[in-house]
Chain A
């Protein structure tokens, strides 16, 4: 075990002066992030393609870096248990994915409603029948309205950085809601690539429960009072009144997180050649496949730019509207059947007939860059 020093500021860990480049998988990048995150507790339940990451976090516990760790009885149990830990006033971490996400689902809106700054990684996987253990981002569609902040990592480097930064965003007093850090299963979790990590002997300053907007470990105040003595058991009128203000406050907390997403992630979006004729708008692995497609398209004289979503909740509405103004077509490649990202974009841009919700692959297969290129080519006659 390496002797660790608590950093004076979060910035020392999030933006270290020196980084070491190492060849690692996404799962190992999670371990590296958690090593530096100064959590008090982690709770695990295995599900492919997440299992390796919480296994490696368990190794951190075995090595003495994490005070407490155990395996819960199910995903639902784990998500309830991390809620308990967070209500108790400690920094806590877990991860799941695919069917595990769905099995635990009831707890996600509860986390937001209880104002718990839990950081959870979601390693996306197909959830439909027929069974798949391979990547598919459909679970993200279901999670869009749970009240949590949603960050989507493109690769292992993002996964390392976003996981650490998620704690900094979640724990702000005026935010204090959960952050889901999403990465595509296998394409990120099991892919080995170069990741630049900070010094292992430095960890985040501890979570301060006194900065929480709701008191930790207080049976008479929210969030515990919400749970043990629900308003709805007393009077529907009181319950309606509580919801009317409380749910809006949770939404407002997500709105207030925008400034911290800017501070810690450099914005909700990242762009390349944003003035191009055609824009690809994508998140996660679809961004990587698009980068390749853009190289192929440029070689054929197609003017195409890239918009990478780093944060999906809160949604970068104004940014997308601004970027879409000049684009003649917006191509949205996705790793799911429903095209939830295209739907989100169509909902906010003017003349949304410009939004091409394709290509889409689902059920686990990869998206060849050539498929995106074909879509870009199809946009050209209409734009010239």
Chain B
């Protein structure tokens, strides 16, 4: 297996730390080697936050930020449009034939220059209305991160749904977990929203499965004159 180096970029409060934790845990349950680490500034909502997940069949030594990802997951359009990220220009470092998954409804907010650069790299660009899927299936925006994971699985099958289920159960139902004070407070809000743990796990899995179906690929080919930058549609 080729080593997967995943950079998740988003905003504080969107659950990137949790998403990375669950993905890494699932990978280890699938018998793979994984390391996971978040990076954030002084904690506050809507500030830039990133999580990095490395998955491989071989031992992983490298630590810290993933500078040369082959998968980039963008949890919020502001990562690109407002530069809320730790890498500038944002797509620098993406490996050839890399994968990008954006949480977006409609316009992706990626400029023509970036799209051309991605096309030259042979990258594959996907979008998923992750927040909309989370609200529709789990009735909470807090499951946006699960939708993003679902989209990743839809595109890459990098871990199994069975392992993800176990990882979700462990994360929310198992041993007490401390990522930070604010994350703990958020957990309480989540727990209150779902009456039973099983229901929480089921809902999260339903979000992931729905997102895996809903993820869409966008052509990176240059548009015909007047067409949409992303999908090439006229008018």
Q: List A residues at the B interface (Cβ < 8 Å).
A: 23, 27, 48, 51-52, 55-56, 59, 133-135, 155, 184, 186-188, 190-194, 285, 288-289, 291-292, 365-369
Contacts and interface: CB of A to CB of B under 8 A. Distances in A.
Closest 8 CB pairs between A and B? Answer: A366-B64, A191-B37, A291-B61, A192-B36, A187-B63, A292-B62, A366-B65, A288-B61
Contacts of A48: 42
Chain A: interface secondary structure? mixed
Contacts of B28: 23, 194
B38 interface: yes
Given A23-B24, A23-B28, A190 B63 contact: no
A296 to B, nearest CB: 10
B203 to A, nearest CB: 24
19 contacts: A23-B24, A23-B28, A27-B178, A52-B179, A55-B178, A55-B181, A59-B176, A186-B37, A186-B38, A186-B64, A191-B35, A192-B24, A192-B25, A192-B36, A192-B37, A288-B61, A289-B61, A289-B64, A366-B65
A265 B135 CA distance: 52
A285 B38 contact: no
Contacts of B33: 194
A59 B35 CA distance: 25
A190 B178 contact: no
Given A59-B176, A191-B35, A366-B63, 4 more contacts: A133-B41, A186-B38, A193-B35, A289-B61
B229 interface: no
Nearest to B65: A366
Interface of B: 21, 24-25, 28, 33-39, 41-42, 61-65, 67-68, 176, 178-181
B145 to A, nearest CB: 16
Nearest to A295: B61
B39 A186 contact: yes
A369 B62 CA distance: 8
A240 B11 CA distance: 59
A133 B64 contact: no
Nearest to A189: B37
A239 B220 CA distance: 78
Contacts of B25: 23, 192
Contacts of B181: 51, 55
A52 B178 contact: yes
Nearest to A285: B63
Contacts of B62: 288-289, 292, 369
Contacts of B65: 365-366
A191 B53 CA distance: 10
A364 to B, nearest CB: 9
Contacts of B179: 52
A134 B39 contact: yes
B61 A190 contact: no
A33 to B, nearest CB: 16
Report which residue of A27, A155, A190, A291 has the largest number of chain B beta carbons within 10 angstroms of its beta carbon.
A190
Nearest to A27: B178
A291 B58 CA distance: 13
A366 B38 CA distance: 13
A211 B38 CA distance: 44
A191 B33 CA distance: 13
A192 B35 contact: yes
B90 to A, nearest CB: 16
Contacts of B61: 288-289, 291-292
A369 B61 CA distance: 10
B63 A191 contact: yes
A134 B64 CA distance: 10
B65 to A, nearest CB: 5
A291 B63 CA distance: 11
Contacts of A190: 37-39
Contacts of B37: 186-187, 190-192
Contacts of B39: 134, 186, 190
Contact of B180 (A52, A186, A188): A52
A298 to B, nearest CB: 13
Nearest to B176: A59
A25 B28 CA distance: 14
A297 to B, nearest CB: 13
Contacts of B176: 59
A23 B35 CA distance: 9
B26 to A, nearest CB: 10
Nearest to B179: A52
A54 to B, nearest CB: 11
Given A191-B35, A288-B61, A366-B67, A56 B178 contact: yes
Report which residue of B21, B65, B180 has the largest number of chain A beta carbons within 10 angstroms of its beta carbon.
B65
Contacts of A194: 28, 33
Nearest to A287: B61
A127 B179 CA distance: 23
Contact of A367 (B36, B41, B64): B64
